[in-house]
């Protein structure tokens, strides 16, 4: 069954500039605990989700590999204003060392950080995507923040879902997949890998050729 | 990494009479579409979840093996009244060929079917569990129906979660993990297996020895 475990793309690799959601999620679907705020960016109890990143996985190289995967793909980031507000102090920089676009309703000058800059986008998710594509030079774009992810899912613009499922039921918090679409969205399973600490899933969104 | 893929229990096998949730779930957490009713037991569009059971998996024996797994474990079933009402015509029998206990608020005589009987339990989930344990003679007990599953999750009585994750976002319907618990429930990953059609996950609920 090994051929189903390690997911190589089953098509010629024409991927570039893909829009990725990359989240660690509890088995019950939460990507943060309740009461997300400055100083508690993952919500109450939500830091449990990231235990796998801080566990000694010397016997489970897959976790270390997966933790680096998005870093290797990302050329730009799009994030919500709320994620920016609660994350900035934690990151002390852009969340990845690449140009980062913050969806907001207020005009604001770019904020230059050590690795890259935050650019504030006040004219919608398509504008942010367009600017991110130009900045990413063909590399992928990562969306951060559950609400922002939901906006891109609703708009049918997400290409890939990279999910780390943590073996815990949080019971409450921010759901990734909430209010996302009026109907079914077919996915293709690209990868399933697991360690005792987390299960690594990757899906791509299936589209017909007219929209893909 | 194969040792992480095929999940044997990592303890001496002292399992018997375990309470199992066994569901096929969309990646966004739904175990049925909206508008579940008689004649539409899986809700609108929810039959998509079970495609993997009806796909020619001759090249993916794992799916066929997993489809049979619960049949091999189950000694009794507990189901909600609603699941009974919408499922009976579809099954034409008990859902598995074992004694089946229906949670209800109305007294009713047992209903003898071809394989086994439905017994109606009007004095709560603990009574149903007790009766199911006696009927199962040491075999496992499967809970059917999302709301009934949630009652047993809230009560901390579930031992194992056997989930088939279908590669689709349904967008709406009945969530398995909704309103389940006030706080985190730690799980142990027992198994991760995948075919292109479905991802097979198994988790056990971690308890300290005083409650397990």
The pLDDT value given to residue A167:
96
Using pLDDT thresholds of 50, 70 and 90, give the confidence band for residue A66.
Answer: confident
Judged by CB atoms closer than 8 Å, whether chains meet at A1 and B61 is answered as: yes
Using pLDDT thresholds of 50, 70 and 90, give the confidence band for residue A34.
Answer: very high
Residue of chain A with shortest Cα separation from B196: A189
Q: What is the mean pLDDT of residues A73-97?
A: 95
- Rounded to two decimals, the ipTM of the complex is 0.88
Judged by CB atoms closer than 8 Å, whether chains meet at A194 and B189 is answered as: yes
Using pLDDT thresholds of 50, 70 and 90, give the confidence band for residue B58.
Answer: low
Judged by CB atoms closer than 8 Å, whether chains meet at B194 and A196 is answered as: no
Using pLDDT thresholds of 50, 70 and 90, give the confidence band for residue B136.
Answer: very high
Judged by CB atoms closer than 8 Å, whether chains meet at A167 and B183 is answered as: no
Residues of B with CB under 8 A from a CB of A: 1-2, 4-5, 27-29, 45, 48, 60-62, 153, 161, 163, 165, 167-172, 175-177, 180-189, 192-197, 199, 201, 203
How far B73 CA sits from the closest chain A CA (Å)? 23
The pLDDT value given to residue A2:
32
d(CA A119, CA A132): 10
Assess whether pLDDT exceeds 60 at residue A10: no
Q: What is the mean pLDDT of residues A64-71?
A: 87
Backbone phi and psi for residue A65, each to the nearest 5 degrees, phi listed first: -60, -45
Assess whether pLDDT exceeds 70 at residue A109: yes
The pLDDT value given to residue A209:
43
The pLDDT value given to residue A9:
42
The pLDDT value given to residue A65:
84
Residues with Cβ within 8 Å of residue B47, at least 6 apart in sequence? none
Assess whether pLDDT exceeds 80 at residue A11: no
A195 contact residues in B (CB cutoff 8 A)? 4
Assess whether pLDDT exceeds 80 at residue B6: no
B42 contact residues in A (CB cutoff 8 A)? none
3-state class of A98 per DSSP?
A: coil
The pLDDT value given to residue B67:
83
Judged by CB atoms closer than 8 Å, whether chains meet at B185 and A196 is answered as: no
Using pLDDT thresholds of 50, 70 and 90, give the confidence band for residue A57.
Answer: low
Report the candidate in A13, A32, B192, A121 with the shortest Cα–Cα distance to residue A130: A121
Residue A193 has its nearest CB partner, among B1, B176, B201, at: B1
Q: What is the mean pLDDT of residues A196-212?
A: 78
Residue of chain A with shortest Cα separation from B5: A194
Judged by CB atoms closer than 8 Å, whether chains meet at A188 and B168 is answered as: no
In the sheet with B100-103, reading across from the earlier edge strand, the strands are A168-169, B185-194, B199-205, B160-166, B19-26, B140-144, B74-80, B100-103, B117-121, B111-112
Give pLDDT tens digits for B161-176: 999 999 999 999 999 9
Judged by CB atoms closer than 8 Å, whether chains meet at B187 and A195 is answered as: no
The pLDDT value given to residue B194:
85
The pLDDT value given to residue A159:
97
Report the candidate in B184, B192, B145 with the shortest Cα–Cα distance to residue B165: B192
d(CA A174, CA A41): 12
Q: Which residues pair with A118 in a beta bridge?
A: A100, A111
**Across all residues in chain B, what is the average pLDDT?**
88
Judged by CB atoms closer than 8 Å, whether chains meet at A189 and B181 is answered as: no
Give pLDDT tens digits for A153-201: 999 999 999 999 999 999 999 999 999 977 899 999 999 998 889 999 9
B196 contact residues in A (CB cutoff 8 A)? 4, 188-189
More confident residue, B90 or B76: B76
The pLDDT value given to residue A212:
35
Q: Tell me the angle at which helices B125-136 and B146-154 cross, rounded to the nearest 10 degrees.
A: 100
The pLDDT value given to residue A67:
83
3-state class of A169 per DSSP?
A: strand
The pLDDT value given to residue B3:
32
Judged by CB atoms closer than 8 Å, whether chains meet at B189 and A196 is answered as: yes
Using pLDDT thresholds of 50, 70 and 90, give the confidence band for residue A208.
Answer: low
Using pLDDT thresholds of 50, 70 and 90, give the confidence band for residue A18.
Answer: very high
The pLDDT value given to residue A13:
44
How far A24 CA sits from the closest chain B CA (Å)? 13
The pLDDT value given to residue B15:
61
Assess whether pLDDT exceeds 50 at residue B91: yes
Judged by CB atoms closer than 8 Å, whether chains meet at B187 and A167 is answered as: yes
Residue of chain A with shortest Cα separation from B154: A171
Assess whether pLDDT exceeds 70 at residue B81: yes
Residue B181 has its nearest CB partner, among A62, A169, A203, at: A169
The pLDDT value given to residue A63:
84
Q: Which pair of tokens denotes residue A172?
A: 């409450």
Between the two ends of chain A, the Cα-to-Cα distance in Å is 30
Percentage of residues in chain A having pLDDT higher than 70: 88
The pLDDT value given to residue A6:
40
């Amino acid at each position: 069954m090994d051929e189903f475990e390690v997911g190589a793309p089953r098509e010629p690799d024409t991927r570039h500039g893909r829009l990725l959601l990359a989240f660690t999620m509890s088995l019950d679907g939460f990507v943060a605990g309740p009461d997300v705020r400055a100083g508690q960016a993952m919500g109450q109890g939500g830091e449990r989700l990231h235990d796998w990143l801080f566990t000694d996985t010397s016997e489970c190289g897959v976790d270390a590999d997966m933790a680096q995967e998005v870093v290797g793909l990302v050329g730009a980031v799009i994030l919500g204003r709320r994620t920016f507000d609660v994350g900035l102090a934690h990151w002390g920089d852009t969340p990845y060392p690449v140009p980062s676009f913050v969806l907001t309703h207020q005009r604001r000058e770019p904020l230059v950080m050590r690795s890259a800059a935050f650019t504030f986008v006040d004219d919608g998710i398509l504008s942010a995507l367009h600017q991110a594509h130009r900045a990413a030079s063909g590399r992928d774009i990562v969306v951060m923040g559950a609400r922002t992810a939901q906006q891109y899912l609703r708009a049918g613009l997400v290409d890939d879902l990279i999910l780390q499922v943590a073996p815990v039921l949080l019971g409450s918090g921010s759901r990734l997949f909430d209010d996302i679409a009026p109907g079914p969205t077919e996915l293709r399973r690209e990868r399933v890998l697991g360690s005792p600490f987390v299960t690594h899933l990757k899906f791509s969104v299936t589209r017909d050729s007219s929209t893909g």
